[in-house]
Structure formats: structure tokens, C-alpha cells
Amino acid sequence: MPAPSAPAGSTPLRELFERLLVSATPASRVLLAVWASTPFFVIVLLAHGWALSSDEVRAGLNAGPMWALQALLLACVALNLTLAWRLWPRRGRRERVPRSAMLVCLSIGVGYTALTILSGTFTTCASVILVGVLAIGLLIFPMSTMFVAYLVCTGLIVGHDVGVLLGLWAYAPALGPQAFVSDQPTWWLAAWREYVFYAGYVVLLYLLLLLFSRLDDMHASLIQLSHTDELTGLANRRRFMQAVQAELVRQGRSGQPMCVALLDADHFKRVNDRFGHHAGDEVLRTLGAVMLGSVRTPTDVAARLGGEEFALLLPDTRLEDARRVCERLRSTLAAQRFRAEGQNYRVTVSIGLVESRGQDADAILAAADRQLYQAKTEGRNRVCCMVSMWGGA
């Protein structure tokens, strides 16, 4: 199934994310994670490089932990870009890539966790963003993959805190005493904290909004699927009954006529028995297409109730007009030629039609069913109709 197009007014960035999310292949999800995290890590690397080259800033830093962090972030970026290069040709395939997904999750999680630990786990906003990174990961990657990444990141933070309590290392190993003036962070530390928070916040917020937008689209699609017959694309029984009930309420206010028709493919079992279910499905799909071509959309409702039983709801339509619609539908199907196993055959349809004036849904359908039975009894391939009112026919 092709991916739906992006909505009008979408930016190229949004369209890229839409394609990656809608395609929903394992490789594309890894690519999305790499694309979202790499710019952040690259900017941090550049900022730290500048800090280590500035005499003023370097005086407030511990060079050893900072260079170790630089090496770790560089390794994470290199690993992610290498995986992205390998996965790009496979982005459209449905094959699983568990090792690549695990490596990307660990590299992003460990890189951000190290950044959080070295700057002070509980006194910077990085820890908040780290929780958000893990939450977003749950929406992109399998639970098992994120569970491992969560355990590793949590283990690093807990291990660091235990070491701090035991006096083995400093609370914020990358920061020295000169990073603060009168217990307040220097301008460069404050600016760094703001960047880490807002850069992470913007990326997370964008991804969250996009993912929830996709969830809304998926919810709408699920509603559509719950109202649609998979084989024919027509409304299903549930949707048809909802439409009938809604139209009865509207009819009660407007007083306009409403017609309901029940259709049944004649001798359909013979088609299945002789040519197989594939041929039968083709007949049903064709009947559904003929029905859609014979009604007004979206005013009228064409539905498959089950098996070879179909229905039409024709609001604001009198019996004679509805009969013309049904006759056109019947004659179109009767002229249709089917072919299976080297043989040509035709299929006809019997239709029971009623115009309702004040009855409830069950009574309307019962009346239409009686007319359908009459059409079958009289020889099939015909339309039988009546006006149905309270108190009788």
C-alpha cells in the first residue's frame, strides 16, 4: 500500500519525518533516530571544542573528563552515521534490523547519559531531556530494545551516584570550581545548560507532536477500517445501520422520503462451487463497484452486509427514482461478463426496495427483505418494490 501523501502546507522537514514514520520499516525508524540525534551531538562536540580552546572557559573545566566525553560523543556520531550509511539502501524493506536498532539506541542513550552525568545529573535540565529521549524511543523502537537501553542508562546513573556517595569521584566531573561565581554558574555554563535543555526540548516536542499527529491519523484510519468492508471497499453492516439510524432521525425532522434496498447475488453459491472463491470474490468486488457507480456520493450509502448480501440507503429519494437507480444497477451487472477457468459466465442480482415513511430501522429492513424474497420467488434478476408505512404496507 503506498504511503499517504503529506498534508498541504507541509514543510520539507515534516514531509521527511512523515515518510519515515508512515513507511514504518525497521530501517527507516533507525534512520529517524540517527537524523534526530546527530545534529545535537555535533553541535555539542563543536561547543565543547571551543570551550577547551578558550582560556576563560577551560579554567572552569576538568580537561580529562571533557576529552573523554568528546571521544565518546565522536564515537557515537561515527557509529550512528555508519549504521545510517549501511541502512539507507534497505530503508524500504520490511526486514528486521535488531542489531542496528540496539546499537543506535545504546549510542544515543549512553552519549546523552554521559553528558548528563558529567554536567551534574540533578542540577541540569539534561536529566529531564534524557527521560524524554527514552519515552520517544518507546514510540519508535520495540519495547525489548528500549528496555535494554533503559537498563544501561539507569545503571550508569545509579553507578555514578553510588560513586559520588562513596567519595570516589565528583558529582559533576567535567566542572571545576571556577565554573561558578558566588555559587552561580558562569555565563558560559548557563548558556550551555540553556542550549542542552532547549535543543533537546525542541527536538522532543517536534517528534511528540508529529507522532501524536500520526496517532490521530491512525485513529481516523482505524475508524474508517471499522466502517469498511475489506473486500469491496463498501460500507459494512455497522456503518450501514448507523447511517440508517441517523437518516431516520433526520427524516423525522424533514419529512422527506427515504428508500432502502437489499440486494442479493443470484446463484452465487454456484459460482463459488464451480469456479472457486477467487472467482466469487471477483463477482462481489464487481458488484460493489457497480453499486458505487450507481449512487450519489457521499449522500447515498452502498454497503455489503455479509456474504453476497448488499444494501443501499437512498436519502431524500422517492420510490420511482430509487427504482430507476436499482434497475440501472441491475442491468449494468447483468451485462457484465466474467471469465474463470477459460469459461465466460454472467451473474445477476435480485433487489428488494422499499420507501419508508415513519418506520423504524428493523421494520424497514424487514419490508425490504420481503420484497427481496418476492424478487427471488418471481424468477430473480429483477427489482420488487413497495412503499412501507406505519400500520402496514
Amino acid at the residue 116? T
Report residue 14's pLDDT band, with 50, 70 and 90 as the boundaries. Answer: low
pLDDT given for residue 22 in this prediction: 53
d(CA 85, CA 23): 18
Cell of 21: 514514520
| Lowest mean pLDDT across 1-10, 258-267, 276-285, 325-334 | 1-10
Would the pLDDT of 116 be above 90? no
Q: How long, in residues, is the chain?
A: 393
Report residue 337's pLDDT band, with 50, 70 and 90 as the boundaries. Answer: very high
Would the pLDDT of 4 be above 70? no
Radius of gyration of the chain from Cα atoms?
Answer: 33
Would the pLDDT of 112 be above 70? yes
Half-sphere exposure of 365 (CA within 13 A, CB side): 14
**Residues with Cβ within 8 Å of residue 306, at least 6 apart in sequence:** 237
pLDDT given for residue 32 in this prediction: 83
Catalytic residue IDs: 308
Pseudo-torsion of CA 351, 327, 282, 269, nearest 10°? 30
d(CA 198, CA 14): 20
Average pLDDT, the chain: 84
Q: Which residue in this structure is represented by grid cell 471497499?
A: 233
Report residue 390's pLDDT band, with 50, 70 and 90 as the boundaries. Answer: low
d(CA 69, CA 62): 11
pLDDT given for residue 2 in this prediction: 41
Is there a contact between 189 and 118 (Cβ–Cβ < 8 Å)? no
pTM for the model stands at: 0.54
5: DSSP letter: P
Is there a contact between 338 and 283 (Cβ–Cβ < 8 Å)? yes
Would the pLDDT of 67 be above 80? yes
| Lowest mean pLDDT across 82-96, 138-152, 229-243 | 138-152
